[in-house]
Structure 1
Amino acid sequence: MKTFVVGIDAGGTSVRLRWKESASGIEEQVRLPAAPDGGPEPALELLRQVPGEVLALTAGITKVSRGDTKAAWEQTLRTACPTAAVNVVPDFVVAFHGAVPEGVGLLCVAGTGSVIYGESGRGESVRVGGRGWEYGDEGSGASVTAELMRRTLRACDGLWPHTPLTRAVCATLETDDAALVGERGRQRALSFGRGFLVQLVAASAQNGDDEAKGLFTGAAGWLARYVRAAHAQLDFAGGEVVRVVCVGGMWELGDWMHPPFELLMARWLPGVITTAPRGTPCEGALRLAERSVL
């Protein structure tokens, strides 16, 4: 019977599964939409497509620390692959090992949420941030949206004058009544995600709005602070080349985020190299699965 190692990247939108045959080294990848509750059912369906015995499986999942999410994934995967070495880790861990194949450096994730994760050559690891939209995730689309909603509500309540950007928010929500702005903002967040105003901010920045540019500069500054904290906690060896890899939708907004971030990196962490990711989270999951059977 053919044998395989398997990597799974279970994001909020889709679940990707990548397998590699032990003998030939041939890889295949399949995907399905994610379950609404983030459960393992799509992964179970994808596993049925693997044409042989699974020797090792690593899955990177969202919300790994909330409730019984991790336990549900582990039970489902171990039931489906009873002889396999199964490992369920946070999604940012597989993203790191996809983006940084050598396993030394820092990953700065900034999408709807944000988190910094890194590993050193000594085998140490650290996570900074990623504490959820309620209390953290600075530098993310959710935090930019929340800050702009606060400014808009304060303007609607008469605490200070409206700006072109807060007026644009009111136009998007089709009201300048504070109570309705808040309620419609919550509805938009449920329907379109907690970063629902990021594209509005990006368009305003493109049109020269200084407030919009400032929101992105502030987001980049928070992310740089988190990277600096993670770097200090890992205490990289003097000879190690430390790479900071930036991934996520906030980094894909053009030049509004990268220049202020890289300026702070040069000031705070000279010698650190900022690079693009060199692989996908699903590739990282597969890489970790391979290592577990070496």
Structure 2
Amino acid sequence: MKTFVAGIDAGGTSVRLRWKDLASGTKEQVSLPAAPDGGPEPALELLHQVPGEVVALTAGITKVSRGETKAAWERALGAACPAAVVSVVPDFVVAFHGALPEGIGLLCVAGTGSVIYGESGRGKSVRVGGRGWEYGDEGSGAYLTAELMRRTLRACDGLWPHTPLTQAVCATLETDDPALVGERGRQRALVFGRGFLVQLVAVSAQNGDDEAKGLFTGAAGWLARYVRAAHAQLDFPDGERVHVACVGGMWELGNWMYPAFEILLARWLPGVATIAPQGTPCEGALHLAERSGL
């Protein structure tokens, strides 16, 4: 029977499975929409397509800090692949190993949420941030949207004048009544996600709006601070060149955050440089599976 190693990237929208034939080295990848509750069912369906026995499997999932979620994935994958060494890790860990396959450096994730994760290559790892939209996720789409909603509500309440950007928010929500602004913002967050104003800010920045540009600069500042904190905890030797890979939708909107982010890193961490991600999270999961199966 053919044997395989496999990696899973289980995001909020889709679940991807990548496998490698240990004899031939051939790799294939398949995907399905994610389950509404983030459960392992799509991954189990995808595993049926592997044409042989899986001997090592790593899955990167969201909400891994919720013990019942990780346990449910471990039970399901263990039952589906009884001969496999199974590992379930946070999604940012597989993203790190996809972006930085050598396993040394820092990953700066900024999408709807944000998190910094790094490994020293000497057995030490660290996670900074990513504490959820309620109390953290600075530098993310949720953070940027919440900050702009606060400014809009203050303007609607008469604390200070409206700006073109807060007026654009009111136009989007079709009201300047502060009670309705807040309620319609909550409704949109439920339907479109907590970063529902990010595209509006990006378009405004593209059109030259200084406040919109400033929001991106502020987001970049928070992310750079988190990178600095993670770098300090990893105890990289003085003078060691350390790479930071930036992934997530906030980085893909245009060049709104990179200039401020790189200026701050150059000031605080002269040995750190940003690089483009080298691979995908699914490739990172497969890489970790290969290592665990050795």
TM norm. shorter chain > 0.5: yes
Q: Which residue identity lines up with residue 278 of structure 1 in the other structure?
A: Q
Residue matched to 2:282: 282
Q: CA deviation at 1:273?
A: 1.5
Q: How much has 1:154 moved relative to structure 2?
A: 0.8
2:177 alignment counterpart: 177
Q: Deviations over 1:229-276 (max 9, x none)?
A: 000000013464310000000001212100000000100000212100
**Stretches of structure 2 lacking an aligned partner (at least 5 in a row):** none
- Which residue does 2:71 correspond to in 1? 71
Do 1:121 and 1:240's aligned partners in 2 also have CA atoms closer than 8 Å? no
Contact 2:240 2:271 (C-alpha < 8 Å) held by counterparts? no
Q: What secondary structure is seen at the aligned counterpart in 2 of 1:68?
A: helix
The whole-number CA distance in structure 1 between the counterparts of 2:26 and 2:177 is 59
1:37 counterpart SS class: coil
Native 8 Å contact 1:144 1:219 kept in 2: yes
Aligned to 1:236: 236
1:164 aligned onto 2:180: no
Check whether the contact 2:56–2:289 (CA below 8 A) recurs between aligned residues: yes
- Look up the match of 1:197: 197
Q: Which amino acid aligns with 1:82?
A: P
2:6 maps to 6
| Local SS of the residue matching 1:274 | strand
| Distance in structure 2 (CA, Å) of the matches to 1:154 and 1:121 | 47
- Read off the aligned partner of 2:257 and give its amino acid letter: M
Q: Which residue of 2 aligns with 1:50?
A: 50
Flag as ranges the 4+ runs of structure 1 deviating above 4 A: none
CA deviation digits over 1:161-192, x for unaligned, max 9? Answer: 11100000000000101111111101100111
Aligned ranges 1:123-162 → 2 under 5 Å:
123-162=123-162
Flag structure 1 segments of 5+ consecutive residues without an equivalent.
none
Kindly, what percent of the aligned residue pairs are identical? 86
Q: Does 1:186 align with 2:186?
A: yes
Contact 1:121 1:236 in 2 (8 A): no
Task: Compute the TM-score of the two structures, normalised by the length of structure 1.
Answer: 0.99
Asked if the contact 2:111–2:140 (Cα under 8 Å) also holds between the matched residues in 1, the reply is: yes
Count how many residue pairs are aligned between Structure 1 and Structure 2: 294
How far apart are residue 76 of structure 1 and its match? 0.4
Using the alignment, how far apart are the partners of 1:77 and 1:184 within structure 2? 40
Distance 1:69 1:158 in 2: 45
Q: Does 1:247 align with 2:247?
A: yes
Post-superposition shift, 1:67? 4.8
- Counterpart-to-counterpart distance in 2, 1:8 and 1:152: 41
The aligned counterpart of 1:119 is 119
SS in 2 for 1:169: helix
Q: What does residue 213 of structure 2 align with?
A: 213
Deviation at 1:54, TM superposition (A): 0.4
- 3-state SS of paired residue (2:176): coil
Q: 1:194/1:86 Cα in 2 relative to 1: closer, same or farther (>3 Å)? A: same
